[in-house]
């Protein structure tokens, strides 16, 4: 899904004259400017041979999550822990559980990190995996909790469009509740780690100077490594 969503939480004029004028002397031609050096082609990373094959088969990942469970999220800045409450948002909890179980989020980057708002992640660093999940949508959940600081929520581009992207609220974003963003978990340890994630690029392109989600979908982490090397990312997620 090229859901560039959370959250969301979104000339010239030419003139001509009719009078004739004396032509100015024609200046001598300038030396031809050499073309700029061609940019190195970005080559997407291939899915590792030891990756779980279910990453390419969303229809096979439909296990019901436990009523409550925790995941340890190891990042390039340290670790934090998310506690999931299935009763808050059953469809979201089930999807997250299945994705975490097969390592979907491992090596994913926090590609949209906006200070005073939220950090977003969940596009696979491997384009073939991102493509497999693009249309694997889940039904909406009722919003039973508020999008307050530390709450974890699926991003969405409209009704029933959630796939794999998530965000962590950095502040009280309860205004998102009425827009259908249903939290399913909360950061219970290590919120200081979340606060320390790199946010220097800000909003994504074309509205900001951060990564373009379409290019990330097509080129994966190779695009981020080449253009946005300061981004932090997930090393590994472990269900505890």
Give long-range contacts, CB 8 A cutoff, 24+ apart: 207-215. 207/10, 210/111, 210/112, 210/113, 211/111, 211/112, 213/2, 213/3, 213/4, 213/111, 213/112, 213/123, 214/2, 214/4
pTM above 0.85, yes or no: no
**Can you give the pLDDT at residue 22?**
32
**Can you give the pLDDT at residue 43?**
86
d(CA 122, CA 188): 20
User: Is-contact 221 61, C-beta < 8 A?
Assistant: no
**Can you give the pLDDT at residue 8?**
43
**Can you give the pLDDT at residue 42?**
85
User: Is-contact 95 154, C-beta < 8 A?
Assistant: yes
pLDDT in tens, the chain (240 residues): 444 444 444 433 333 333 332 333 334 444 444 455 445 688 888 888 889 999 999 999 999 999 999 999 999 999 999 999 999 999 999 999 999 999 999 999 999 999 999 999 999 999 999 999 999 999 999 999 999 999 999 999 999 999 999 999 999 999 999 999 999 999 999 999 999 999 999 998 988 889 999 999 999 999 999 999 999 999 999 999
d(CA 196, CA 144): 28
Residue 40: both structure tokens together:
């190195």
Domain limits, the chain: 66-239
Judge: domain 66-239, CATH 2.40.10.480. Answer: no
If residue 96 lies in a helix (H) or strand (E), which one and from where to where?
Answer: helix 90-101
d(CA 172, CA 116): 9
**Can you give the pLDDT at residue 41?**
84
d(CA 70, CA 86): 11
If residue 92 lies in a helix (H) or strand (E), which one and from where to where?
Answer: helix 90-101
Quickly count: other Cβ atoms within 10 Å of residue 46's Cβ.
11
**Can you give the pLDDT at residue 35?**
52
């Amino acid at each position: 899904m090229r859901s560039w969503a959370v959250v969301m939480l979104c000339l010239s004029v030419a003139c001509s004259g009719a009078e004739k004028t004396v032509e100015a002397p024609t200046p001598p031609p300038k030396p031809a400017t050499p073309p700029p050096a061609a940019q190195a082609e970005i080559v997407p990373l291939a899915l590792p041979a030891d990756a779980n094959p279910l990453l390419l088969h969303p229809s096979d990942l439909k296990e019901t999550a436990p009523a409550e469970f925790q995941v340890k999220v190891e990042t390039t800045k340290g670790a934090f822990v998310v506690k999931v409450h299935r009763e808050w948002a059953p469809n979201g909890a089930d999807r997250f559980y299945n994705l975490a179980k097969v390592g979907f989020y491992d090596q994913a980057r926090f590609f949209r990190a906006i200070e005073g708002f939220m950090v977003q992640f969940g596009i696979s660093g491997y384009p073939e995996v991102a493509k497999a999940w693009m249309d694997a949508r889940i039904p909406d959940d009722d919003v039973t909790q508020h999008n307050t600081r530390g709450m974890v929520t699926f991003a969405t581009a409209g009704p029933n469009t959630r796939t794999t992207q998530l965000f962590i609220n950095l502040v009280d974003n309860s205004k998102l509740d009425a827009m259908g963003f249903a939290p399913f978990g909360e950061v219970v340890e290590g919120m200081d780690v979340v606060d320390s994630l790199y946010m220097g690029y800000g909003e994504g392109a074309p509205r900001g100077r951060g990564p373009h989600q379409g290019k990330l979908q097509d080129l994966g982490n190779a695009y981020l490594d080449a253009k946005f090397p300061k981004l932090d990312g997930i090393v590994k997620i472990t269900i505890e």
